[in-house]
Amino acid sequence: MKKVITYGSFDLFHEGHYRLLQRAKALGDYLIVGVTTENYDASRGKLNVVDSIMERIEHVRQTGFVDEVIIEDHAGQKVEDIQRYGIDVFTVGSDWTGVFDYLKAYCQVVYLERTKGISSTMLRAKNYGIVRIGVIGTGRIAGRFVPEARYVSGLNVESVYHPRLEKARAYAERFELNHYYDRLDEFLKSVDAVYIASPHETHEPYIREALLQKKHVLCEKPMFLTKKGAEELFDLASGMGCVLMEGVKTAYCPGFIRLLGIIRSGEIGEVRDVEACFTKLEKPSSRELTDALYGGSFTELASYPLLAIVKILGKDYRDLRFETFQNERGIDVYAKAYLRYENSLATVKAGLGVKSEGQLIISGTRGYIVAEAPWWKTKSFETRFEDGSMNEKHFSKFLGDGLRYELSDFVSAINGFDKKSYKLTRTESVWMAEIMEKFLKRRNGDGAGGQGQRHDAGV
């Protein structure tokens, strides 16, 4: 008897799951399926699981392909199970190609081509199903999206749009997507929601068109470059009954949420200063350092420090000024923003041509918090006090590239579970857009948007 084993969450059971089990059964005579527990899914970064484990087991059994169902609840279990059950073939979908090659020491490993596109015909009768999402843009950040999306239950990446068809085609082939388009109207017809990862200045037009077609929108930061544009499009989203969400991944990061909770508990007293820095060195020829209108350190990186400031100190600052070093194109290679509140101060530091220590420091009347770089992923931070024996270091998971956390909340919001919207509110996104607008006006020389000096440094 040839024994085959496969594993999965099998949440929101659909045609892709059915076909995977059908093909797995065809590889041998006896099929064992390991269904993962909710806790194990969470520990390995699988988010937004909807069905209970008993429901998921029942859906697997109902296919008629499975001879035995087991529970997977810990790391390393696959090796144990293969040896315990005398497995000849281990199989999973092709989106995991290479990940389980280490099991070749114990049995044959087969990666089955996954089902492109998901049918809703096998979903249970519930008020929500699988969200079909499409990607606008094919650059670096867009390249992280599909691998992260597979960790979010209730979501399927269907298609990609790029105004140059060859780029859309290459992206679709790379990530095994069902469709690719160079016409926006056709692309929008193929999806329920869009993820926008295109250049900054294209965000507002793409958001507007998607909302007019009643598509939910998750957009990379900075989502908006003007306060007016932000307010108009949030109003449009509300009128269309659509979710509009800004993808500043730190806002949805478990560690950052925990950090905010400690601040609000009063553990470090009243906050008097926030210093937030994010720098990374880019090539002078990069888009970020050659786009004279929308490039630069501030538009590229300042969303993260601004998020920390607005979450901790709020939006009612009294004074704002900027200082920059600019290259020969007038693009900021290093920028600082200073905000004064009634009882506190804040500093943003962002650099693409200047490198600095990327810390987040929150200073209070009883103590302070230090989150070391990369604090925007918030894997750890420390509360420190005058009495060093009271210091405490806090640790939290940040899995993958972090996009899965915002995606999980996005899908939840689409399905009507919007209680997590506090993580990044409409008001906060509009506030960040207003700061961006003031900075660009100041940098581009029309004199608006805060007082401060501009330093040219032909870097």
What pLDDT sits at residue 118? 55
What pLDDT sits at residue 12? 82
What domain range includes position 208?
131-247
Same domain, 215 and 154: yes
Whether pTM exceeds 0.95? no
What pLDDT sits at residue 399? 86
Classify residue 408: in a domain, yes or no: no
Same domain, 148 and 243: yes
Same domain, 365 and 353: yes
Question: Cβ atoms within 10 A of the Cβ of 151, count?
Answer: 21
Same domain, 238 and 259: no
Boundary of a domain, candidates 214, 229, 247: 247
The DSSP result for 390-426, as a single string, is G-EEEE----TTSHHHHHHHHHHHHTT--GGGGGS-H
Question: Cβ atoms within 10 A of the Cβ of 365, count?
Answer: 11
What pLDDT sits at residue 61? 94
Boundary of a domain, candidates 247, 265, 286: 247
User: Most distant CA pair in the chain: distance in Å?
Assistant: 79
Same domain, 156 and 293: no
Selection from 1, 262, 19, 257 nearest residue 122 by Cα: 19
**Which CATH number fits the domain that encloses residue 321?**
3.30.360.10
Classify residue 239: in a domain, yes or no: yes
3-state secondary structure of 42: helix
Same domain, 240 and 104: no
Same domain, 238 and 224: yes
Same domain, 243 and 260: no
Classify residue 120: in a domain, yes or no: no
Same domain, 226 and 257: no
Classify residue 411: in a domain, yes or no: no
Selection from 168, 436, 411, 424 nearest residue 310 by Cα: 424
Q: Give the span between the Cα atoms of 111 and 109, in whole angstroms.
A: 7
The DSSP result for 337-367, as a single string, is EEEE-SS-EEEEEEESSS-----EEEEESSE
Same domain, 229 and 303: no
Going 43 to 44 to 50 to 53, the CA torsion angle's sign is negative
3-state secondary structure of 220: strand
Boundary of a domain, candidates 80, 112, 144: 112
**Which CATH number fits the domain that encloses residue 140?**
3.40.50.720
Q: State how many domains the chain has.
A: 3
**Which CATH number fits the domain that encloses residue 36?**
3.40.50.620
Same domain, 136 and 79: no
What pLDDT sits at residue 21? 95
Selection from 394, 423, 397, 432 nearest residue 302 by Cα: 432
Classify residue 197: in a domain, yes or no: yes
Same domain, 258 and 384: yes
Contact 320, 450 (CB under 8 A): yes
Each residue's pLDDT, cut to its tens digit, for the chain (459 residues) gives 999 999 999 988 888 899 999 999 999 999 999 999 887 887 777 777 878 889 899 999 999 999 999 999 988 899 999 999 999 999 999 888 999 999 999 999 999 987 665 544 444 434 457 899 999 999 999 999 999 998 888 889 999 999 999 999 999 999 989 899 999 999 999 999 999 999 999 999 999 999 999 999 999 999 999 999 999 999 999 999 999 999 999 999 989 999 999 999 999 999 999 999 999 999 999 989 999 999 999 999 999 999 999 999 999 999 999 999 999 999 999 999 999 999 999 999 999 999 999 999 999 999 999 999 999 999 999 999 999 999 999 998 888 899 999 999 999 899 887 656 789 999 999 999 999 999 999 998 754 333 333 333 322
Question: What is the side-by-side strand order in the sheet with 319-326?
Answer: 392-395, 380-385, 367-371, 360-364, 271-279, 345-351, 332-340, 319-326, 454-456
Classify residue 294: in a domain, yes or no: yes
Classify residue 105: in a domain, yes or no: yes
Contact 355, 327 (CB under 8 A): no
Classify residue 119: in a domain, yes or no: no
The DSSP result for 80-110, as a single string, is HHHHHHT-SEEEEEGGGTTTTGGGGGTSEEE
Q: Give the span between the Cα atoms of 62 and 32, in whole angstroms.
A: 14
Q: Give the span between the Cα atoms of 333 and 280, in whole angstroms.
A: 10
What pLDDT sits at residue 419? 59
